[in-house]
Chain A
Amino acid sequence: MRSDGGRHWASGAVFLATVAFLYLPIAVLIGLSFNASGLPTSWGGFTTGWYDRLFANDEILSAFRNTLIVAVCATAISVVIGTLLAFGLERTVRSRVLDAGSFVPMVIPDIVLAIALLSFYNLVFTQWMGVRLGLWSVILGHAVFGIAFVSAIVRTRLRHFDDSTVEASLDLGATELQTFRHVTLPQIAPGVIAGALVAFTLSLDEFVIAFFTAGTEVTFPIQVYSMVRFGVTPEINAAATIVVGFSLVLMLVAVRLRGQEDTA
């Protein structure tokens, strides 16, 4: 390969610096979570004590549980509706408007969506129906962008999908249901799962919408925020490390699944 001369070396240096830059804070967090002194300024020895305290901290654990509930529910909704939408946009209807429209939930600033939802919930549910905000209102909000992400991911999968395999299956003796089970589903499954993982991860980490619409409920990011703002206890580092690790693993799996379609 022809080298690009001096710039080649420079871009490599920038790349390394960038990677270091990107992973430094994460490394620091992980290190801190095992640091007995709990302070970034001095190393007090290796310990898993913070993790122990984390799992004994009911507040944090309950926030964690809430976040999981929200993420699971939002993902479930997003997967079903998003996959249906993907089929609709990719097969049934050709519309530039709808294509662009399904992009909007991914691009809209989260603060705008957050206050819009809050206003809407307040008007319809709190004032009119007398229902209080809670995890349900966060779930509904997360599904708004979850659907968009799942749809986008499944659509790219569908583009590789050969429709005639469905007809071939029917021709060979399979009923519509058998065809869906044996031919359609296995082919779109990697895309659906990748989309689910993305939606799940986004919901897990999402702060702004939850902050505005959770009412009195507390999700994990909200918990982190209040601890960061109003008093840090070192357990937060342990919790943060777990969440970061979790997200990284999930996304690596999603990438793996997406990579498989290149061999199809």
Chain B
Amino acid sequence: MIEIDRITKRFGAVTAVDDVSLTIAENEFFALLGPSGCGKTTLLRMLAGFESPDEGRLLLDGSDLVGVKPYRRPLNMMFQSYALFPHMTVEQNVAYGLRMEGVAKAAARERAAEALEQVQLGGMGARRPAQLSGGQRQRVALARALVKKPRVLLLDEPLSALDRQIRGEMQIELKRLQHQVGITFVVVTHDQEEAMSMADRVAVMRAGRVEQIGPPDELYERPATRFVASFLGDANLFPGPRPGTLTVVRPEMLHLDGAGREHRHEGRVLEVVFLGTARKYVVELDDGATVQARVGAHGPAPRLTAGDRVTLGWDAADAAVVDAEEATAGV
């Protein structure tokens, strides 16, 4: 239902978004993922109407949004700083959008109260934003956007300001909310764990372009580029089948019982790190490269320590082939 068609945006000499095209489906939880400066936030802001693209079309159900003011678009945004109005109560904040639509005061208050219930803040209507915690403020911001029943909810780095503990809870909360409300969510984030855990599909962006789009597992197991491979998790890079290519093997796919595998590497264990849920083995191969292997902690664990010799192995079916672009730091 959202079609981003060859969108380009330049700021002076810098091209923030470079000829990007993608579609987002109805009721989808979609994530724009990438490092800072990749253009994901700019793209989101163009959807919201705060920036205008230099080229391209933004289609919502077929009609082009370019040139349409933010207040006339059926999308709403949740800002990174939450942007709650400090001089209004929580209830007034949530009811604001309705009042601007022309909804009568009483009806607006009722709907606002309902929206607050929906985000588990029932009864907090009379408080002011300054009296709330970070997590509570975020939920007010959500309620404020959702009460208007937009077609799409845009979220700009929704979890970046929260503590680790709350972040996990909110990830589940947002997913639940999206199912409950039944609308499309578009989230911008730089945290790959967030994107992978919440989204139905993720678009990985770099330097203004989309490198790959797909469900999280597909991106993780079948990365299309070297950047996607290393951005989404640890990646061991071996020379690829053809010149100018690399093979990406995830640490979980690099097995310690290398003898029975298609591809084998000999090396010496440098370090064994216990991570709670898994053990990480940092190994220096005989050819000089350093790789990581990861084994679940509950499985049969070979008792290896630093200095031991080991044969690592992997199968082609578990690996992905990418072009060897110039290096950014790879594992």
Q: Which of A167, A174, A175 contacts B83 (CB 8 A)?
A: A167
Q: Which residues of B contact A178 (CB under 8 A)?
A: 100
CA distance A264 to B145 in the complex (A): 22
Q: Which of A168, A173, A187 contacts B148 (CB 8 A)?
A: A173
Given A170-B70, A174-B100, A186-B87, 17 other A-B contacts at CB below 8 A?
A: A162-B81, A165-B83, A168-B83, A171-B48, A171-B76, A172-B76, A172-B97, A172-B145, A173-B71, A173-B148, A175-B69, A178-B100, A182-B96, A187-B85, A187-B86, A187-B87, A264-B86
Q: Is the CB of A171 within 8 A of B70?
A: yes
Return A185 CB to nearest CB of chain B, in Å.
Answer: 10
Q: Is the CB of A172 within 8 A of B79?
A: no
CA distance A174 to B148 in the complex (A): 13
Q: B130: CB under 8 A from chain A?
A: yes
Return B93 CB to nearest CB of chain A, in Å.
Answer: 9
Q: Is the CB of B130 within 8 A of A263?
A: yes
Q: A164: CB under 8 A from chain B?
A: yes
Q: Is the CB of A173 within 8 A of B101?
A: yes
Q: B254: CB under 8 A from chain A?
A: no
Q: Is the CB of B87 within 8 A of A172?
A: no
Q: Which residues of B contact A168 (CB under 8 A)?
A: 77, 79, 83-85, 144
CA distance A53 to B107 in the complex (A): 60
Q: Which residues of A contact B144 (CB under 8 A)?
A: 168, 172
Q: Which residues of B contact A187 (CB under 8 A)?
A: 85-87
Residues 183-205 of B contacting A (Cβ, < 8 Å): none
Q: Among A164, A172, A186, A263, which residue has the most Cβ atoms of chain B within 10 A?
A: A172
Q: B50: CB under 8 A from chain A?
A: yes
Q: Which residues of A contact B96 (CB under 8 A)?
A: 169, 172, 174, 182
Q: Which residues of B contact A174 (CB under 8 A)?
A: 71, 96, 100
Q: A158: CB under 8 A from chain B?
A: no
CA distance A142 to B101 in the complex (A): 45
Given contacts A167-B70, A186-B87, A187-B86, whether A172 and B81 have CB atoms under 8 Å apart is no
> Interface readout for B120-156 with A: 1 if CB under 8 Å, 0 if not?
0000000000100000000000001100100000000
Given contacts A170-B71, A172-B76, A173-B100, whether A165 and B85 have CB atoms under 8 Å apart is yes
CA distance A263 to B76 in the complex (A): 28
CA distance A263 to B100 in the complex (A): 27
Q: A63: CB under 8 A from chain B?
A: no
Q: Which residues of A contact B83 (CB under 8 A)?
A: 162, 164-165, 167-168
Q: Which residues of B contact A182 (CB under 8 A)?
A: 96
Residue of B nearest to A168 (CB): B83
Residue of A nearest to B92 (CB): A182
Q: A117: CB under 8 A from chain B?
A: no
Q: A144: CB under 8 A from chain B?
A: no
Given contacts A172-B96, A173-B97, whether A164 and B71 have CB atoms under 8 Å apart is no
> Interface readout for A70-109 with B: 1 if CB under 8 Å, 0 if not?
0000000000000000000000000000000000000000
Residue of B nearest to A161 (CB): B86
CA distance A172 to B49 in the complex (A): 12
CA distance A175 to B145 in the complex (A): 16
Q: A240: CB under 8 A from chain B?
A: no
Residue of B nearest to A190 (CB): B87
Closest 3 pairs between A and B when the two form their complex, measured CB to CB: A172-B97, A168-B83, A173-B100
Q: Among B49, B87, B148, which residue has the most Cβ atoms of chain A within 10 A?
A: B87
Q: Which residues of A contact B84 (CB under 8 A)?
A: 165, 168
> Interface readout for A167-211 with B: 1 if CB under 8 Å, 0 if not?
111111111001000110011000000000000000000000000
CA distance A165 to B79 in the complex (A): 9
Given contacts A173-B148, A174-B100, whether A164 and B79 have CB atoms under 8 Å apart is yes
Residue of A nearest to B86 (CB): A264
Return B266 CB to nearest CB of chain A, in Å.
Answer: 56
CA distance A263 to B69 in the complex (A): 33
Q: Is the CB of B85 within 8 A of A183?
A: yes
CA distance A263 to B81 in the complex (A): 18
Residue of A nearest to B96 (CB): A172
Residue of A nearest to B75 (CB): A171
CA distance A263 to B130 in the complex (A): 7
CA distance A168 to B101 in the complex (A): 14
A to B CB contacts below 8 Å, 17 in the list: A162-B86, A164-B80, A167-B79, A168-B144, A170-B49, A170-B50, A170-B71, A171-B49, A171-B71, A171-B76, A172-B100, A173-B97, A173-B101, A173-B148, A174-B96, A187-B85, A187-B87
Q: Which residues of B contact A162 (CB under 8 A)?
A: 81, 83, 86
Return B171 CB to nearest CB of chain A, in Å.
Answer: 23
Q: Among B49, B100, B144, which residue has the most Cβ atoms of chain A within 10 A?
A: B100
Return B67 CB to nearest CB of chain A, in Å.
Answer: 15
Residue of A nearest to B147 (CB): A172
CA distance A164 to B86 in the complex (A): 12
Return B254 CB to nearest CB of chain A, in Å.
Answer: 45
Residue of B nearest to A264 (CB): B86
Q: Is the CB of B77 within 8 A of A171?
A: yes
CA distance A178 to B100 in the complex (A): 8
Return A113 CB to nearest CB of chain B, in Å.
Answer: 37
